[in-house]
Every structure is written in C-alpha cells, then in structure tokens.
C-alpha cells in the first residue's frame, strides 16, 4: 500500500486539492469534506470507498458540479473548474459535455428507446440527430447491447440497462465519469461485467472514472482506491485483479 | 432534437388519451353551455323573424308582448292601419301553456293569429308539411318540436283542435315550440273563464243593484254579455310600406294612438337584454366555474404526471438539460392535452347538441374562442408543474 503525492500527479485527468464542503452555519455547521485530495488519470478507474456518512455522495456532488464546495481547487484536464469558487459560468454545459454520470439505478428515460436514451446528450448539445444516433449505436455495439437499440428501457434486463447508462455517460466523450454505486443492484456476474466495461471504456476513451462503491465483489478490481472517512481521503493501492475476458471493442 | 413531450405522450398513449377524453367531456359541457346561451338568443331572434312584423304595438308603458303582459282592444289594428306608412296590421295573442294530445302534454306557446291571407303578420311564414289554417275555428299549425303529427287532435283549454300543418323553428324566447290557432279561439283560451266561473259571475252581477235595475232588464243582459266576450289581444303586429322609416311610423303611432311601439331593434334589445339577461348571467357563471374546474383538472393532471417523472427530470437536469427544454416538455404536454380535450369536447358537443330539449347553437366563433381559452388554461395550468420540475435538485439523481 503506498500513497501518491500531489507532486506526482499528471497535468490532465481530474485533480482535487484541499476540497472542503460545509453544510449550515454557526453552531449547526457540519463539515462533510475536510480537505479532500485526489486525482484520477485519463484511462484510469479509481474506487472511492467509505462507510455511510463519510462524505462520498457529497464529494461526488461536488465533482459533478451539482453542489458548490466551500473551498479548495478542482481541475479537469487543463481547466481549473473550481478554485475557492466556480471558475466556469455554465455548469450545466460542464455536466453535459465534460462529465458522464452512471447511477446506482440506470435512470434511463422511460419514454425514449435505447438509442435515443444514449443519443439524447449530444442532441441536447446541438449535435444533429442523425450523428447523435450514429454515435449512440457505435457505443451500444461496443457495449454489446446494439441488438436492443430499438427496445424501450422497461424491456431490458438490469445488466443491459446499466450498460446503456454507461453508453449514455460515454457518448459525449467526457474526460471524467462519475459512477455512483453502479453495481449495487446487480448480481456478481453482472456486477463484474459492468466494472469490466468501465475499465475497458476508460482505457479505450482515455476517460478518468471514479467509482463510488460498497461492493466487496468489485473492490479487488481497482488498482488504486481512495478511502474516505470523516470527510478526508486516504489513497490506497488495490489488487487490480483481472476480471476475465475482454469485450469485443 | 427529440420532441421529449411527444415521446412521453406516445409512451403513455392510452393513459394520456383517456385523460384527454375526460377533459374533453368537460370541455364539451362548457361548449354546450355556450351553445345553450346562443340558442336562447337565436330562439329570441327566430321569434321576432317569424312574427313577420316590423313594429310591435303594445299596451302603453309595457315591454309586451314577450317580456311583459300587454293588453289591447282587438279593434286597435284598424286605427293603426290608418297611420301613413303602415302596410299591414294584425292582432296577435301569445300564451304559454300545456297543450294536450293523445300521447303526452307539451309545453307550448299558443299563438292566436288574425284571419287573413297567408303572409299576414303572426302567421307561420312557412310549413314543412300540411297546410295553413283555413277555418275560423279548431284548426292548428304546430312546430314539429311539439311532436305532433298531421291529423293529431290536440286539446287547448276546453276545445280540441286538428293539426293541419307543421312548421319548424317556431319557438318562444324560452324555446317552447309554437302552436298557431285562429285568433278568436286563442282569445277564448286566454281570456274566457270556465262555465262555473261564468255562472258565478252572472249571479254576482245580478245581485249588484247598479246593474240589475228594476224596469231596465236590458242593462243586466248587456253587462253580462260584455263580461263574456273577449276583446283583448296582446299586440298588434305591423308591417310597413317599402322605404318607410320604422322610427317615424313608431313615433306617429305612439303620439296619435297613445300606445307603446317597438321597432325590431328595440324588441331584440328587450329580448336579449332583459328577458334572456338573467339566464345569460346564470350560464356565464357556469362557464366561469367550468373554466376554473377545467383549469384545476388540467393543472392537477399535468402536476401529477410531472411528479411521476421527478427522478427522470433530476437525471435530465444533471446531465445538462436546459430548464427551458424541461419547461417546454411539460407545457407541450399540457397543450397536447388541451388539444385532445378540445377535439373530444367539440365532437361530443356536436353529437349531443340535437338531443337537448331546447335549441343548442354551436357557433364556430365560440369554438374558436373556446379553443384559445383552453390553450390559455392549459399553459397557465402547466406553470405549477413547471415550477415543481424546475425546483427539482439534480443532486436527487445521485444517492446519499
């Protein structure tokens, strides 16, 4: 087990330095994050592990530009996005174009078919429908769910839904993906399948992936992890266990 | 860009259509209420048109003969005929009452029409079957809305009449179908008393020493005879010679004959502005309430539909969907609901209008106004749901 120091981090990927988040004011204030330092390199999948109430979700929301940290610094690639205040005006566009989200439940839009669920993001960014759908189909093929491209979300199995949600997270080619308990509702086989896909996609698209998880089955697959406890992160080297055959990508 | 609202509607098609159907029936009721009001006005205008009159001569300082009781002597028309510019003048009586038939009683306006050639004011201007009344007594022409048929025997007070002709759209301002009978019969029906009342009246008159004077028996007979003859009509209908100004002739009759005279425009104002006014306000209140109920229902439906998608909305916001895209989706759904509701309502109102006992007139202009009102209501109703949707925290998509 060894810790990286911030002086070793690359200049791209996502870098977090001294991030804090305080809820409330005065006597009732709660410090959910007390100075988080972490980085994830492009193409790397990092686990974020910790007990309930440790600050995992708060950190994820800060990284996702959903809530504003209290202080600290975050950089994404060459861009400083937060430095004791947001440095980007359009957080909505930041989330749309540069951050992919994978949730515990897939949360696919129930009234859109699989292709349009994936293609929605580029469409929202103004990419023509045809091109958006082509991108979606390409990703669905990579994730081995192209045969369900015209199915509605309710017609998919849990594993298929999660793969579609991964495709949705990847479709804008974001430099970072935030995955919140992506394997929680899945059995071992499907959970490992999903995490393998995340590893392969991270490698293929050089995306930095942060996986928040409690799942004992997938923890051994991370080469590097951050334990978060009482609002602080501690870096660990993981086992980086091989998951099995790679997908046809 | 995908039309999210359209996709959601297609996905939830049956539920959405059923909701639109329910809303449509409510809109249909609203359109029908407007049609009832228009029908009342149309009935009033039909009443004036069908009378064939250009002027109505009535008892002084009354709004007769439709809005207030009016009583004139039945020889007044002769003096009216002498006024320059008058072409025709004919007595008329109106009495709304129950008319009996073998099948059922019918509420009808019995019109007493003066003798004369076809086209005399007060006569039905056209027939759909049969013939006009040609005898002095006991024949009738009925509006087909009475349900009477040619040859039917109908009872009006003490006498029976044979239906010899049928007409259409001859109704009172209240929508009751008309039955036309000879004037003398109508006067009898309106003003004459029953036999017992006549006997009692004779007895009372005979007991009055002022009428029953010794040595002058003819006085009592004359008084009794005068009591049992009806010489009253409700109005005199007047037509004018071509090119004559209605107001000038009306002024002349009022000045020299000392009656109240109404022109067509004045009579229409009385019917619409006074006789129908209260009913119009009543219907107006209904329309307002129905509009509020419709708005509440649309708001509730759209709000409920939106709440059912809170998680999806949170995801949409998290992945960068603009607020205006989400607001547009909700508003488009509300408008689509309104369009479905309006189409269903319009079809329903058109379908059931003929089954109403009174005339329901669905005017295209009212439908157009109704459509815009429904759209405005839907847009306003969607604002509550939009407010709820825009208040959704994208962080809700992330656990913890």
CATH number at residue A215: 3.40.50.300
Whether B315 has its CB under 8 Å from any CB of chain A: the answer is yes
Shared domain check, B72 and B174: yes
Who among B312, B318, B321 is closest to A66 (CB)?
Answer: B318
pLDDT at A176: 92
Does residue B268 belong to any structural domain of this protein?
A: no
* Residue with more model confidence, A33 or B278: A33
Does residue B225 belong to any structural domain of this protein?
A: no
Q: What is this model's ipTM?
A: 0.78
Does residue A245 belong to any structural domain of this protein?
A: no
Shared domain check, B11 and B65: no
Who among B1, B2, B320 is closest to A112 (CB)?
Answer: B2
Does residue A56 belong to any structural domain of this protein?
A: yes
Does residue A45 belong to any structural domain of this protein?
A: yes
Q: Which of B86-95, B121-130, B223-232 has the lowest mean pLDDT?
A: B223-232
H or E element that contains A49: strand A45-49
Average pLDDT over residues B350-369: 91
Who among A101, A112, A180 is closest to B7 (CB)?
Answer: A112
Shared domain check, B300 and B245: no
CB B133 within 8 A of CB B164: yes
Shared domain check, B28 and B74: no
- Degrees to nearest 5, angle at CA B5 with B2 and B10: 95
Confidence at B399, pLDDT banded by 50, 70, 90 = low
Shared domain check, B131 and B19: no
Q: Please report, for residues A15, A99, A208, A218, B315, the alpha-carbon distance to residue A181 in angstroms, rounded to integers and kept in the order given.
A: 21, 16, 16, 11, 16
pLDDT at A185: 74
Whether B281 has its CB under 8 Å from any CB of chain A: the answer is no
Shared domain check, B245 and B137: yes
Does residue B32 belong to any structural domain of this protein?
A: yes
CB B179 within 8 A of CB B141: yes
Does residue B65 belong to any structural domain of this protein?
A: yes
Does residue B372 belong to any structural domain of this protein?
A: yes
Average pLDDT over residues B23-49: 89
Shared domain check, B123 and B8: no
Shared domain check, B391 and B283: yes
Select from B318, B324, B333 the residue whose CB has the most chain A CBs within 10 Å, as the one to mutate to test that interface: B318
Q: Please report, for residues A120, B168, B320, the alpha-carbon distance to residue A117 in angstroms, rounded to integers and kept in the order given.
A: 5, 62, 14
Residue B210, Cβ neighbours under 10 Å: how many? 9
DSSP count for chain B of H helices, then E strands: 12, 12
Round the average pLDDT of chain B to a whole number and report it: 88
Shared domain check, B331 and B375: yes
Who among B2, B8, B399 is closest to A180 (CB)?
Answer: B399
Shared domain check, B244 and B349: no
pLDDT at B99: 93
Which residue numbers of A have CB closer than 8 Å to B's CBs?
A: 56-58, 60-61, 64, 66-67, 92-97, 101, 103-104, 107, 109-112, 116, 119-121, 123-125, 129, 152, 168, 180-181
Does residue B79 belong to any structural domain of this protein?
A: yes
Average pLDDT over residues B383-395: 88
Does residue B98 belong to any structural domain of this protein?
A: yes
Does residue B116 belong to any structural domain of this protein?
A: yes
Does residue A98 belong to any structural domain of this protein?
A: yes
Shared domain check, B240 and B314: no
Q: How far is B10 from chain A (nearest CA, A)?
A: 8
Q: Which domain holds residue A162?
A: 9-237
Reported as a single tens digit per residue, the pLDDT across B204-256 is: 988 888 888 888 888 888 888 887 777 889 999 999 999 999 999 999 998 88
Residue B378 to residue B374: CA distance in whole angstroms: 6
Reported as a single tens digit per residue, the pLDDT across B38-58 is: 888 888 888 888 888 999 999
Residue A105, Cβ neighbours under 10 Å: how many? 18
Tally of structural domains, chain B: 2
Q: Which domain holds residue B99?
A: 60-192+230-258
Tally of structural domains, chain A: 1
pLDDT tens across the length of chain A (249 residues)? 333 343 344 557 899 999 999 998 888 889 999 999 998 999 999 999 988 888 888 898 899 898 999 999 999 888 899 999 998 888 888 888 889 988 888 888 888 999 999 999 888 888 899 999 998 998 898 888 899 999 999 999 888 898 898 899 888 888 999 998 888 877 888 788 888 888 888 888 889 999 998 888 888 889 899 999 888 888 888 777 776 544 333
Shared domain check, B296 and B244: no
């Amino acid at each position: 087990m060894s810790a990286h120091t911030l002086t070793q981090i690359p200049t791209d990927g996502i870098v977090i330095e001294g991030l804090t988040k305080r809820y409330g004011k005065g006597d009732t204030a709660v410090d959910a994050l007390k100075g988080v330092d972490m980085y994830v390199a492009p193409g790397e999948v990092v686990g974020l592990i910790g007990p309930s109430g440790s600050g995992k979700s708060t950190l994820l929301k800060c990284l996702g530009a959903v809530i504003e940290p209290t202080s600290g610094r975050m950089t994404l690639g060459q861009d400083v996005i937060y430095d004791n205040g947001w440095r980007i005006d359009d957080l909505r566009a930041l989330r749309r174009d540069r951050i992919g989200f994978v949730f515990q439940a897939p949360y696919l839009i129930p009234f859109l078919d699989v292709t349009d669920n994936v293609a929605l993001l580029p469409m929202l960014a103004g990419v023509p429908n045809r091109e958006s759908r082509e991108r979606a189909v390409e990703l669905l093929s990579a994730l081995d769910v192209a045969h369900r491209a015209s199915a509605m979300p309710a017609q998919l199995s849990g594993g298929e839904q999660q793969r579609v949600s991964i495709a949705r997270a990847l479709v804008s080619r974001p430099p970072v993906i935030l995955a919140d308990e992506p394997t929680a509702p899945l059995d071992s086989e499907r959970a490992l399948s999903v995490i393998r896909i995340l590893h392969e996609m991270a490698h293929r698209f050089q995306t930095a992936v942060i996986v928040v998880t409690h799942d004992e089955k997938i923890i051994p697959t991370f080469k590097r992890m951050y334990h978060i406890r009482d609002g602080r992160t501690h870096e660990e080297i993981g086992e980086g266990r091989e998951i099995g055959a790679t997908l046809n990508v | 860009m995908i039309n999210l609202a359209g996709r959601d509607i297609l996905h939830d098609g049956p539920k959405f259509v059923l909701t639109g159907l329910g809303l449509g029936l409510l809109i249909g009721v609203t359109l029908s209420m407007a049609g009832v009001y228009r029908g009342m006005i149309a009935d009033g205008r039909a009443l004036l048109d069908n009378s064939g009159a250009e002027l109505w001569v009535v008892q002084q300082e009354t709004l007769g003969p439709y809005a207030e009781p009016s009583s004139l002597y039945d020889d007044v028309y002769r003096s009216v005929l002498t006024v320059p510019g008058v072409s025709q003048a004919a007595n008329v009586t109106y009495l709304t009452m129950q008319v009996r038939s073998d099948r059922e009683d019918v509420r009808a306006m019995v019109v007493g029409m003066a003798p004369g050639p076809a086209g005399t004011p007060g006569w039905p201007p056209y027939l759909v079957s049969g013939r006009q009344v040609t005898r002095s007594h006991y024949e009738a022409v009925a509006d087909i809305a009475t349900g009477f048929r040619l040859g039917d025997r109908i009872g009006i007070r003490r006498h029976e009449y044979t239906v010899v002709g049928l007409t259409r759209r001859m109704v009172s301002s209240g929508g009751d179908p008309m039955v036309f009978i000879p004037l003398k019969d109508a006067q009898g029906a309106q003003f004459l008393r029953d036999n017992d009342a006549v006997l009692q009246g004779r007895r009372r008159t005979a007991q009055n020493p002022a009428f029953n004077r010794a040595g002058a028996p003819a006085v009592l007979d004359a008084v009794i005879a005068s009591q049992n003859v009806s010489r009253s009509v409700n109005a005199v209908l007047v037509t004018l010679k071509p090119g004559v100004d209605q107001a000038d002739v009306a002024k002349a009759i009022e000045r020299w004959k000392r009656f109240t005279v109404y022109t067509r425009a004045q009579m229409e104002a009385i019917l619409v502005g006074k006789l129908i006014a209260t009913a119009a306000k009543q219907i107006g209140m209904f329309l307002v309430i129905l509009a509020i109920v419709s708005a509440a229902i649309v708001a509730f439906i759209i709000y409920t539909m939106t709440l059912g998608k809170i998680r999806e909305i949170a995801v949409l916001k998290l992945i960068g969907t603009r607020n205006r895209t989400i607001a547009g989706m909700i508003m488009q759904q509300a408008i689509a609901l309104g369009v479905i509701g309006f189409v269903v309502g319009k079809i329903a109102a058109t379908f059931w209008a003929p089954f109403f006992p009174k005339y329901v007139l669905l005017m295209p202009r009212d439908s157009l106004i109704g459509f815009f009102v429904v759209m405005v209501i839907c847009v306003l109703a969607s604002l509550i749901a939009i407010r709820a949707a825009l208040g959704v925290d994208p962080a809700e998509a992330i656990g913890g």
